[in-house]
Structure 1
């Protein structure tokens, strides 16, 4: 998610009451099962896993034999939408398998929609406390809040009790996680089914989900069980429930399973959803029921609206067979449908080629209508929302945003969907790695950001920014506040969280530059093949990259510096001198004797030698002469110090490269050559993307007006990008 922020940023380049979600008190409640040891919850500061998962974690590597995933859950849901009141009446059968070796007497369930139930939720509390806000900061007014209410929970006919909990020590008014105490324990390896009646009041869409007029984006809408992690999975040493509160920047983490969802809406409403439509919709009494099925996913979302135009439907023939590509859109954005469809098809091809074959039969994209921008830029398995724009001309900023948000949200289908990253604790694995791979795709498309304003040229500002240049400029490389691997809520600010995208993409681009593109591509395919449908950790990504590239020193060094730490790289040329090595007065050895040579004699000899050399080399350039030159370059190194190259350029057109490897704060290079040095350049091939300031990487012996102009141009570009990105922080 959140790369809807890119659309906001790029478009800018052109110019205390709470609705209670009260639980009903069930009648004839059975007492919770006794004799079960309590299973703890994951810690409130969990994140940045350093210990690799076990080989048999999550049922072991998926070999293609049997199901795609180790199906832990099954959801069978009936949902009926009231589009006037914006409510959903739901009945759910939740079947869950206990993978642990001990009986389970309580389960934890997410009620995400309660993040929008009023100012007292963790989500909204953090939004108020955020100095830089969240997305576009659409306000929620009275009557626009939303919630989810549990009406009944039964296990084998016996009523269960439930209690709201705050696993991350959030406000007691947060109701986004509930503990359900079971009447009967679930034995090791056994499964149980909970019959749950629930009721949703959708909020006016302000972030991720809700309604606007007749438009409904229904996400985070059903009771969803947390993940019981076992020893050897994502750093766990004992069974633990992973069920964090719904934080401002956190998203979702769940077990893989099967979904069978029946959606009932007025007959004139168009529906789109996760998965495949099973049979023809059934019409009865002015309403239509649509049934969707999907295996091997960990979430389900849908949309319904009476204003959708006829969907644009195409077919992509992939390695695993045909994929139906569908775009839902409103008439005012008809021009967006074809670009979104094409970007989706291109993404299917790119991700299938570079990571692994797309495993599903559908890919549905939604173009949000005017007034519901905050529904844009959101991802669910086989289903996502794109952007919307009035500017679809190729090369325009609006078109770049439309294409990129489509690519980004589709890409989540791999990093959030198929790989199943824990977005609560390690958002970098989804948002950051997805951003990196998306920008590789945009680069392969040669789709730069083109700024067309005439005044930019007048100011000397470049009118074309590459995708990775944009990422680097917004990555806060000069003052990183938080490690990239930190969880999504324990961060300095929303601005710091935003660097999960930009700084991760930049760090991965640097690793790729240092190990070579073929090695990085091999490593990413290894990561995907090894961890698809298995919930990897940062340590699992680290080890796959180290093994796949064959360059563990580079990979581990980058992870220690930038992912597990707040390393700052700023190598710079501190000093450059290049002086002739001339004979000096004093005693000199001559024919076995010490002979005193005075200054006048030395000067005369130097002049004579220079004239003779010049006569033999009439075409010599400035900086070439009768005597050698001694060049001294001092490089200063700050904080994280990756290996790189120093290039010294000489007046005769030659250059010499030297390895910069010192882990001290400086490194001195002394070179004696027949030609005078003209300049020194660090990282001449542009491999170190994490360097906070590229403007101090070079120094010339003489002042260069062109360099000054370049400095101003780079600074202006940086400043311009900063203001463009400001709206996203």
Structure 2
């Protein structure tokens, strides 16, 4: 097995990698790294963070910090990309910068000594995970810096480890400058590099004649200023490429020329400029896109394209293209439609889509790990050999496309830090995707064509599906935790499911219009900037005015690991009969004897029966009923509605909205309470065990019959699916 040792070099002569020194792992003497572990942010950013809120009147959508001009050529046989990068970067800080830091993400796939692989080994030891392909000889990937120059000066570099981890990780590199960049000044670098794509492991790579070229060029890290995302001083945010982490970068301009074999289909971030140029069996494509923070592309032999457009208020005319292999032609039209529908929904609910293009790539069979990945104006989907209405294939296709497009807002335009705060991208996007599905009245379907033919087509609403996977009973990590300090991949998965569930419950508390307004405010404030979790919380409070409910969700679920499990523990009923004993009135004592009362109550009952010959069981009788319902909290407090139903069929609602561990509610009515239910409308999806939310005074087998039928339907579907494989 061969692995590249791309290392710290000068242009002349070449040098081998230098181990990171204590100074290099701490950043410049006066510019430290962002914390590797204490990453949760509770203080909102300053109003002028990242240049302040964008009004829409500026010359560019974002405050562009960086620009990349790249000329790249693909060696299709070797799956290697030769690149020349000219970078300009603006120093936004108030001090000079003597060293800069770059992400060299492809080195995550260089050898098993990377943080990516060491963390993956821990994941797989505790269960299954995605991205677990085993690389054979010639399938490793890496990025090799060949030359770095500042003007005429050749620069030195060394690999550093901002997050600790193995010394063998080479996903962050420090470049020492010949001339410091003054405060407010601009840096220009020229970098020659060679990127070897791995056989697809996760997010990037090749399979056959398919090449997804992502995280393929040296990308400068983000210099954060005080008041931005919890920073109290100027700092470099330059995390290593962790197994579960994704990305974070400055907005800027990308101007990229791509040269590939002429029989390859190409798609990329941004808009194609003019006609591609052909020469000697190769074709050069020129793509440009401003106001984005990454660039990815695909080159695949003999792939097909399907085109469409989106036109909507506030957006430019959007050219939408699906690039797909012939084996997955069935996915092309559904992917085009769901992507265009997603542009419309996100434009309507958050803000108009601001770009002129959207490219959707369907990877081939055996390259599934390249699917379901997002980049600005560009995402990868999943392929299906058939997509049939009202089966799991249609739902799976639609959901992947909607989800990956949605990242274009929560990861792309809002540009949250996916390393430190995956909740802001994966979590909020998952929630908004499910709102779109609910508006379309589109449930998760567990049916195949065969089970559908049999008349078996179980449906599960999206938010119910999210709740089932949200690990509500024993969450191990707060939602605001970073992507790598988690007990397992399952815990990372709850960033999707538990966030969607928590936001569902917050919407139930605030109301749908108020929640939508709050999300629009969040988007309006932070588009083309970099918000934190604290900024999201501030937008929710500022818009809704409901600090109590917002803070409870954040304190217990976003920043904490709270659980909710309210239960109805008992219903006690008794008739309110005349009582024996001594009473005083006007200083006169009177005594009622029990034997006399028995005769009195018997007579009242007989008289009532005669007066109501057609009375049915449960109708009010001669005496009222005193019912007591006891409820308990086995977790955190949440506002609850308690609905009691009386024997005569009427019901009454009361509110339980305090932080007491238990409560008793008394009802004196003509009819007795026969059942009680907490949250009868199903607002609190965060409730771990909803089966104990209700109680009846008489056993009712309807629930068990329903669950038995549901389980039977799911099992039938599962066995039928096995039969079709």
TM-score, structure 2 length as denominator? Answer: 0.93
**CA–CA distance in 2 between the matches of 1:80 and 1:219?**
14
More displaced 10-residue stretch of structure 1: 412-421 or 592-601: 592-601
Give the CA deviation at 1:585: 2.8
CA contact (8 A) 2:316 2:354 kept: no
Shift of 1:20: 2.8
The match for 1:317 is 311
Distance 1:323 1:39 in 2: 42
* C-alpha contact (below 8 Å) 1:695/1:711 kept by paired residues: no
1:316 positional shift: 1.1
Match of 2:112 in 1: 119
- Distance in 1 (CA, whole Å) between partners of 2:264 and 2:310 is 26
Give the secondary structure class of the aligned counterpart of 1:258. strand
Alignment of 1:600-619 (within 5 A): 600-619=595-614
CA distance in 2, matches of 1:621, 1:149: 86
CA distance in 1, matches of 2:249, 2:719: 37
CA distance in 2, matches of 1:620, 1:98: 85
Per the TM alignment, residue 453 of structure 1 is displaced from its structure 2 partner at its CA by 7.0
SS in 1 for 2:476: coil
Equivalent in the alignment of 2:18? none
Give matches, 1:551-700, under 5 Å: 551-588=546-583, 593-623=588-618, 624-700=620-696
Aligned to 2:444: 449
The residue number in structure 1 matching 2:174 is 179
What is the aligned-residue RMSD (CA, Å)? 2.5
The residue number in structure 2 matching 1:22 is 7
Structure 1 segment 9-48 matched on structure 2, within 5 A: 18-27=3-12, 37-48=29-40
Map 1:102-141 to 2 at 5 A. Answer: 102-130=95-123, 131-135=126-130, 137-141=132-136
Counterparts in 2 of 1:55-204, with a 5 A limit?
Answer: 55-66=47-58, 67-130=60-123, 131-135=126-130, 137-204=132-199
2:396 corresponds to 1:401? yes
Aligned to 1:44, what secondary structure does the other structure show?
Answer: coil
How far 1:446 moved relative to its partner?
Answer: 1.1
What is the CA deviation profile of residues 200-222 of structure 1, one whole-angstrom value per residue up to 9, with x for unaligned ones?
11000010000000000000000
Q: How much has 1:63 moved relative to structure 2?
A: 0.3
Give the conservation status (yes or no) of the 8 Å contact 1:29–1:161.
no
Name 2:492's counterpart in structure 1.
Answer: 497
**Structure 1 residues 19 and 620: CA distance shift in structure 2, 3 A:** farther
Residues 677, 628 of structure 1: CA spacing in aligned structure 2 closer, same or farther, 3 A cutoff? Answer: same
Provide the rounded CA distance (Å) in 1 between the counterparts of 2:451 and 2:329.
32
Shift of the 455–638 alpha-carbon distance from structure 1 to 2, 3 Å rule, reads farther
Structure 1: distance between partners of 2:457 and 2:478: 32
Normalised TM-score (structure 1)? 0.93
CA positional deviation for 1:404? 0.3
- Evaluate the alpha carbon distance shift between residue 114 and residue 452 of structure 1 in structure 2; reply closer, same or farther with a 3 A threshold: same
Residue 638 of structure 1: CA displacement?
2.5
How big is the shift at 1:46?
Answer: 3.7
CA distance in 1, matches of 2:442, 2:225: 44
Q: Is the 1:576–1:633 Cα contact (8 Å) retained in structure 2?
A: yes
CA offset at residue 185 of structure 1? 0.3
Q: Distance in 1 between matches of 2:674 and 2:118?
A: 58
The number of equivalent residue pairs is 704
* 1:485-564 correspondence runs (5 A): 485-564=480-559
Contact 2:566–2:635 (8 Å) recurs in 1: no
Q: 1:36 Cα shift? A: 7.1
Q: Is the 8 A contact 1:166 1:245 kept in 2?
A: yes
Q: 1:327 to 1:256 in 2, by over 3 A?
A: same
Paired with 1:275 and 1:105, the residues of 2 have a C-alpha distance of 32
Secondary structure at the aligned position of 2:577 is classed as coil
Pairing partner for 1:260 from 255, 274, 282 = 255
Please say which of residues 382-391 and 428-437 is displaced more in the overlay. 382-391
Pick from 439, 448, 459 the counterpart of residue 434 of structure 2: 439
Match of 1:54 in 2: 46
Change (3 A) 1:628 1:84: same
Alpha-carbon offset, residue 152 of structure 1 = 0.7
Deviation at residue 28 of structure 1 after TM alignment: 6.7
* Cα drift, residue 58 of structure 1: 0.3
8 Å Cα contact 2:451-2:717 kept in structure 1: no
Q: Distance in 2 between matches of 1:202 and 1:468?
A: 38
Indicate if the aligned counterparts of 1:474 and 1:721 stay in contact, CA closer than 8 A.
no
In structure 2, the gaps of 5 or more residues are 16-22, 721-725
